[in-house]
A = this chain, B = another copy of it.
Amino acid sequence: MNSTRDLEALIEMMAKLPGLGPRSARRAVLHMIRKRELLLTPLADLMQQVAVTARECLNCGNIGTTDICDICASEKRANGLICVVEDVADLWAMERTAMFKGRYHVLGGTLSALDQIGPEQLRIPKLLDRVQSENISEVILALNATVDGQTTAHYIADQLEDRVTLTSLAQGVPIGGELDYLDDGTISAALNARKAL
């Protein structure tokens, strides 16, 4: 159809977003067209803007609109702590807790022999530089508890041994978690790391 070519194209494009399929993309597009002034136009403008301004922080790999992200730019965050995460989404998750007052380093993935991803592809050299230049005292390895994640953590630990204190996130029962639904590994980890009340 000619008069709906743009619509079809928009729906097709929306359907490529994670979490959206053809059906939900159609729903979303119709919803946006109904709320043109409130949703469609501002959303389009914001996307245009972000497409131009979004960039990775040259220091830590966080995504923002400046060459050096606010966290790296802020002197307050220079407390000798670096939290190493796989992905920007992990960084944002940490930030939402507002518990961590140090800086971050986003690897951008995990080591993987299969996908030929080595230290150079992962901003690991940059991390080693930063440990020197920002005289870091502790590196928190907040990598996912997957095989690749832990392999990467071990590699980094080897590189930084006896240069800084290395820590990792505690493992155990998640808040609100029910033992019955937890895997054996998590339960044993929580049991080994049990603490006195």
Chain A contact residues, CB within 8 Å of chain B? 1-7, 9-10, 13-14, 16-20, 24, 26-33, 36, 39-51, 53-54, 63-66, 69-71, 73, 87-89, 92
Contact = CB atoms under 8 A, between A and B. Distances in A.
B3 A64 contact: yes
Interface of A is mostly: helix
A19 B19 contact: yes
Contacts of A89: 26-27, 30
Contacts of A28: 17-20
A89 B11 CA distance: 12
A34 B53 CA distance: 13
B4 A43 contact: no
Given A40-B51, A51-B36, A64 B7 contact: yes
